[in-house]
């Protein structure tokens, strides 16, 4: 007979207590090791560790066997090798990797377990490529659909981003590779990113823009953080007293390394004093024209050494930086126990495909347009450049060199063995140069004529369009200039609809776009940038092999002015090139749409399935709560349709009477749950009462307001099936 073992609460407390003693002991040993190394280092050697020696590495101390630190972008895979001194690719033949879906797609999965698998896999690839720091993930909040880099982030909600960044970071770091969370903070647009000064209230800062960074440090234990390019309250974020010294290092107890964004440091004294530990990318390209190694001119190089030698900066300052860097090394390249890593293995492809299929969002499905059946006699016209375009190239520093990439068209052709698939480009993206998009070298009219010809003869039209991931189109370094689809896609869609009304659209973007044609199409899929296996993943969902379960991680406004940042005019977005003011304050994304009753085109948390779900019997475990207590929300999710599927139960909380301005409701809990057709599953979500506090500017601290609250339970921010009142005493 098998004996059963029970873990008593007492035993559990004992285990936690013992492990905290063991951890404290381990920490002490590490710190003692660092002390002993520090005592061997010269001032010059300590300073050298604080700045780059090449585009992506910092020097070690060879005489002591202290290794170099090697970094790579991030966050969707490990970037190809870059030249020592310039941004050119080194053209190695062994640096092709697995490209994972963009972080917007990961956010759409609403699945922290998948974020963990993502982190582990990308960390394994980084480790295999001998990287010590992975430059990612990015958790800047989605504030405007024009931000060129939204696709690298986790959406507009601080709670969702927090829940996903933590497992990502942990997963990466399990490999002895540091995650470098970026860009700290308020880098919410690309336009003027290198100098714009962001002015934002303390409330919005603490409630909206910082929580995901905080979670990555406190819960995720991130070992590195990248300072943003922009300024905050007049000081560059890469050397910002409030952000780095006070909030990150003091309040959150961050013991890792603050790395500058590439070229984000601007002043030696400030960099030394205001929290920067490692300076990267300043005045790059070549070894310079002087006899000195170019890297010696970095702010945290010779000029820093000079200040230290003159006594204008205390040696304790460089000791703290060197200590942090050595700590990062003992966690990474000086940790002889770290695993060896893996690259391009089937498990990674599997994770990439799983994230992609779970993140794809079905937004419209008139008369069950999707899934499209694979049957003899059916002709599917796949129209659009994005059906064939590589979406791992482009986009800026996150671009990747995958070992292979399956385009949507390839994936569809592979999956559809009986139906006839025909393709026409329909439109072609033009090259973009500084500030403008040039017309494509293709003749737009003949592309259109060709597309219309195949659309006429087809039973189904699948338009695969969106943005191009090139300059001004979902790409680092610039924002989009227009909300509508580029390259004449809106007109093209109208012309196609005139000849064939049975049309579905797949949008390959990392951002919301304007959709003047939405009423006239039958199906809409938000397809993101899906990485190596993009085509297979899309075909999985289009064919119905996988039932979609993705939910939007940000709101799609109908028109740009409906977005809060844009509502307040130019000083709010993009600013006057010197300053910008986040006038919408805490009302970002759905908080704005909900509170101001401005209907979005698609709402945060929205996403359809091929089956139908019913949420029932939802209740709270109590009516009143006090500080520190857990609120338990439980209920049932029933799959009332004819296929298996997964639903995301979302719990928002709001407080109508409050002494401060509040959003109508805010996401405070969610759970993704798989339910077989015809069956029901119980679901339970817990919220800590303390997490309902607001940031009180008067007392400069979190404040839990007493009184009546409402829990909103639903499967989208705009589809609430139950409201339950409760009280905090
Ligand atoms: C980007 C960072 C990136 C770095 C290195 C910068 O321009 O903002 O996200 O990690 O370059 O490529």
Is residue 15's pLDDT more than 80?
no
Are 21 and 94 in a shared domain? no
Mean pLDDT of the 530-555 span: 98
Closest listed residue to residue 129, CA positions, set 96, 172, 152: 96
Are 209 and 86 in a shared domain? yes
- pLDDT tens digits, 369-387: 999 999 999 999 999 999 9
Query: Would you give the end-to-end CA distance of the chain in angstroms?
Result: 50
- Which residue has the least CA distance to atom 2 on ligand 1? 261
CA dist., res. 684 & res. 467, Å (int): 39
- pLDDT tens digits, 619-666: 999 999 999 999 999 999 999 999 999 999 999 999 999 999 999 999
pTM score above 0.95: yes
Q: What is the CATH number of the domain that holds 255?
A: 3.20.20.300
Are 476 and 547 in a shared domain? yes
CA dist., res. 534 & res. 410, Å (int): 9
Q: For residue 180, give the ligand 1 atom closest to its CA.
A: 10
Are 387 and 247 in a shared domain? no
Are 55 and 204 in a shared domain? yes
Q: What residue numbers bound the domain in which 702 lies?
A: 611-728
Residue 422 · residue 104 · CB < 8 Å = no
Mutating to test ligand 1, I would choose from 262, 400, 477 the residue with most ligand atoms within 8 A of its C-beta, which is 262
Are 4 and 70 in a shared domain? no
Are 324 and 265 in a shared domain? yes
Closest listed residue to residue 229, CA positions, set 273, 199, 259, 274: 259
Domain annotation covers residue 280 = yes
Are 11 and 83 in a shared domain? no
Are 9 and 69 in a shared domain? no
CA dist., res. 78 & res. 95, Å (int): 8
Q: How far is the CA of 259 from the centre of ligand 1 (A)?
A: 11
Are 30 and 84 in a shared domain? no
Q: What is the CATH number of the domain that holds 511?
A: 3.40.50.1700
Q: How far is the CA of 229 from the centre of ligand 1 (A)?
A: 10
Q: How far is the CA of 230 from the centre of ligand 1 (A)?
A: 13
CA dist., res. 161 & res. 166, Å (int): 9
- Which residue has the least CA distance to atom 4 on ligand 1? 262
Are 548 and 465 in a shared domain? yes
pLDDT of residue 1: 46
CA dist., res. 480 & res. 437, Å (int): 10
Written as six digits, the tokens of 523 are: 């199906």
Cβ neighbours, 10 Å, residue 597:
7
- pLDDT tens digits, 687-710: 999 999 999 999 999 999 999 999
Closest listed residue to residue 122, CA positions, set 88, 63, 75, 157: 75
List, chain by chain if needed, residues with CB within 6 Å of any ligand 1 atom: 73, 135, 182, 261-262, 397
Q: Which residues are catalytic?
A: 261
pLDDT of residue 291: 47
Is residue 720's pLDDT more than 80?
yes
3-state helix, strand, coil in the chain (%, to 5): 30, 20, 45
CA dist., res. 589 & res. 603, Å (int): 9
Domain annotation covers residue 582 = no
Domain annotation covers residue 340 = no
Closest listed residue to residue 321, CA positions, set 333, 309, 313: 313
CA dist., res. 632 & res. 685, Å (int): 6
Count structural domains, the chain: 4
């Amino acid at each position: 007979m098998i004996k059963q073992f029970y873990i008593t609460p007492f035993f559990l407390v004992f285990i936690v207590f013992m492990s905290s003693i063991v951890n404290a002991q381990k920490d002490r040993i590490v710190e003692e090791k660092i002390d002993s190394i520090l005592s061997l280092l010269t001032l010059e050697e300590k300073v050298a560790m604080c700045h780059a020696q090449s585009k992506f590495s910092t020097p070690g101390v060879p005489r002591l066997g202290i290794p170099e630190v090697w970094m790579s972008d991030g966050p969707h895979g490990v970037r190809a090798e870059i030249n020592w001194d310039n941004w050119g690719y080194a053209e190695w033949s062994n640096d092709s990797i697995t490209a994972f879906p963009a972080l917007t797609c990961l956010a759409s999965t609403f699945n922290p377990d998948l974020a963990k698998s993502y982190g582990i896999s990308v960390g394994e690839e980084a480790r295999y490529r001998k990287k010590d720091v992975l430059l990612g993930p990015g958790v800047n909040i989605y504030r405007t659909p024009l931000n060129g880099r939204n696709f690298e982030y986790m959406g507009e909600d601080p709670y969702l981003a927090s829940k996903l960044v933590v497992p990502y970071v942990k997963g990466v770091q399990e490999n002895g590779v540091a995650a470098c969370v970026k860009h700290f903070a308020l880098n919410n647009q690309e336009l003027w990113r290198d100098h714009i000064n962001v002015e934002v209230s303390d409330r919005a800062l603490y409630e909206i823009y910082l929580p995901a960074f905080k979670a990555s440090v406190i819960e995720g234990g991130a070992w590195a953080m990248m300072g943003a390019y922009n300024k905050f309250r007049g000081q560059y974020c890469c050397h910002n007293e409030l952000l780095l010294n006070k909030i990150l290092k003091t309040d959150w107890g961050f013991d890792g390394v603050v790395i500058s964004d590439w070229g984000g440091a601007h002043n030696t004294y400030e960099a030394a004093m205001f929290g920067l530990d490692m300076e990267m990318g300043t005045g790059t390209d070549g070894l310079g024209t002087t006899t000195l190694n170019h890297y010696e001119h970095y702010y945290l190089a010779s000029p820093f050494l000079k200040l230290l030698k003159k006594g204008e900066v205390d040696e304790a300052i460089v000791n703290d930086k060197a200590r942090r860097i050595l700590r990062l090394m003992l966690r990474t390249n000086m940790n002889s126990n770290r695993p060896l890593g893996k690259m391009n293995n089937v498990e990674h492809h599997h994770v990439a495909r799983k994230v992609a299929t779970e993140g794809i969002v079905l937004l419209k499905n008139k008369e069950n347009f999707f899934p499209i059946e694979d049957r003899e006699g059916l002709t599917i016209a796949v129209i659009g450049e994005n059906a064939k375009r590589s979406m791992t190239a482009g986009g800026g520093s996150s671009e990747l060199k995958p070992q292979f990439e399956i385009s949507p068209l390839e994936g569809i052709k592979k999956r559809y063995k009986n139906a006839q698939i025909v393709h026409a480009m329909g439109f072609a993206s033009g090259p973009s140069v500084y500030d403008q998009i040039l017309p494509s070298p293709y003749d737009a009219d003949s592309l259109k004529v060709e597309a219309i010809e195949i659309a006429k003869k087809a039973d189904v039209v699948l338009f695969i369009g969106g943005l191009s991931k090139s300059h001004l189109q979902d790409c680092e370094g610039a924002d989009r200039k227009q909300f509508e689809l580029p390259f004449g896609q809106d007109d093209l869609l109208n012309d196609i609809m005139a000849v064939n009304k049975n049309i579905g659209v797949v949008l390959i973007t990392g951002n919301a776009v304007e959709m003047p044609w939405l009423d006239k199409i039958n199906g809409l899929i938000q397809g993101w940038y899906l990485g190596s296996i993009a085509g297979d993943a899309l075909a999985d969902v289009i064919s119905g092999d996988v039932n979609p379960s993705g939910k939007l991680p940000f709101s799609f406004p109908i028109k740009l002015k409906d977005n809060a940042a844009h509502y307040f005019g130019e000083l709010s977005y993009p600013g006057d090139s010197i300053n910008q003011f986040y006038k919408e304050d805490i009302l970002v994304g759905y908080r704005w749409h909900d509170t101001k009753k401005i209907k979005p085109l698609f709402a945060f948390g929205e996403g359809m399935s091929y089956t139908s779900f019913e949420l029932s019997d939802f209740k709270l475990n109590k009516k009143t709560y006090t500080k520190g207590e857990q609120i338990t929300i439980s209920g049932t999710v029933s799959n009332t349709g004819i296929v298996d599927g997964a639903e995301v139960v979302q719990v928002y909380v709001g407080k109508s009477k409050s002494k401060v301005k509040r959003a109508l409701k805010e996401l405070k809990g969610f759970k993704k749950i798989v339910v077989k057709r015809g069956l029901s599953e119980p679901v339970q979500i817990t919220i800590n009462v303390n997490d309902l506090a607001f940031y009180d500017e008067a007392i400069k601290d979190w404040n839990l307001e007493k009184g009546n609250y409402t829990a909103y339970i639903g499967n989208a921010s705009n589809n609430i099936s139950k409201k339950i009142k409760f009280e905090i005493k």
